[in-house]
Each structure stands twice: as C-alpha cells, then as structure tokens.
Amino acid sequence: MASGKNNKYDDFDFSDFEPKRTSYERNAARKIDTAPKRRQAEKKPDMKLVKRPKKSYARTREEMKRANLHTAKIIAISLVLLVMMSALLYGRMKADELDRQIQSKKNELSVAQSENVRLSMKLDSMISLKNVEDYAQNNLGMVKMESHQIEYIDLSGEDKAVVSGNKSKKSESKNKASFISRLKEYMSK
C-alpha cells in the first residue's frame, strides 16, 4: 500500500543520496553480507506461525478498564507522594520558622533580663542609704531615731498560759469535780 501511495517517486534513484561508504566499511559490509548468508544457507530455523486468539469486546473493555485503574493508581500514589513531600517541606519550613521565633524570643528574653538588671541596679543606686538619709533629712525634715526613743519589751521568762476572767478557779474546780466523778464511775464498774 505504501509503495502504491509513493509510486510517483519510483523513478528516482535514492542511492545517490545515501552517504558513500569508505573502503573499510565496504569490506566489512562485504564480510557481514557474505558470512550470515553462508550460515543462513547452511541452517534455516523452523518458523511457526502462532495464531493470536481473538479478544472479545468485553475482555478488551475489561483490560482497558484495568489499564485505566492502574493509571489512576499511579497518579493517586504520585499525588499522595507529592502531598507527603509538600507536607514534609512545609513542616520543615514551619519548624525553621518556629526555630527562628524561639531564637528571637530567647534573644528578647535575654535583652529584657539584662535591662531588668540594669534598671534594678539603677533603682538600687537611687535608693541607697545615703540618698534616702539625705532626702529624709533635707527634704522631709526627718530626724533619725535615737536609742533612747526605743521602748524595749522583755519577752523572756517561762512559758505560761493565762486563763481569762474569773472563770479560772471555777473551771479548775469543775475539772477536778469531773475527774473525781469519772474516777468514781470507773471504780464502780
């Protein structure tokens, strides 16, 4: 059929357009051309024509369906892999970002702590005993407490309990009475 279609070119000699062989190629070609020919002439293999079984429409369809499913599976797996890879990359990106944030917050904390120390020290120096005394005496007109202005309370002595009011004697006698009555009860048992 092909020859039929291109018969208008049959009159041309295409060999003129082929690259010309060098002498060694021509020799080699001769060797190649002759040797197999001799072997082919010596031994011809037995060729058998195998008939291809005819496929039903349903089977063809089934096969096509299977092929489509397989393609879909590959696409799905690829997609899953892509998503997983993206998730992994995103996770890494996020971790890096959080890492940077942690670092930044740590730096901020360090700066804030240093600032806190600096300000505390400044405050301490402002309220040193010398400054407080100067301000109290010169600005507020305060006078330092003298030793004789302090009243000392003597808390030394033995531990003792004081029962309030006049109940002490009554409660004492009451306790004694209840003890005797309990003793009587115990003896009578």
Q: What are the residues binding other proteins (CB under 8 A)? A: 92, 95-96, 99, 102, 110-111, 113-118, 120-122, 124-125, 128-130, 141, 143-150, 152
Q: How far is the CB of 49 from other proteins (least distance, A)?
A: 43
- Residue holding tokens 């001799």? 38
Which structure tokens are listed for 3? 């020859």
Largest separation between any pair of C-alpha atoms in the chain: 154
Q: How far is the CB of 59 from other proteins (least distance, A)?
A: 55
Closer CB to other proteins, 30 or 92, in the complex? 92
Q: Are 152 and 160 in contact (CB under 8 A)?
A: no
In 132-179, DSSP assigns E strands to none
Q: How far is the CB of 146 from other proteins (least distance, A)?
A: 6
> What's the rounded Cα separation, in Å, for the pair 103 and 39?
81
Closer CB to other proteins, 56 or 138, in the complex? 138
Closer CB to other proteins, 55 or 105, in the complex? 105
Q: How far is the CB of 89 from other proteins (least distance, A)?
A: 13
Q: Are 29 and 21 in contact (CB under 8 A)?
A: yes
Q: What distance, in Å, lies between the first and last C-alpha atoms of the chain? A: 138
Closer CB to other proteins, 51 or 144, in the complex? 144
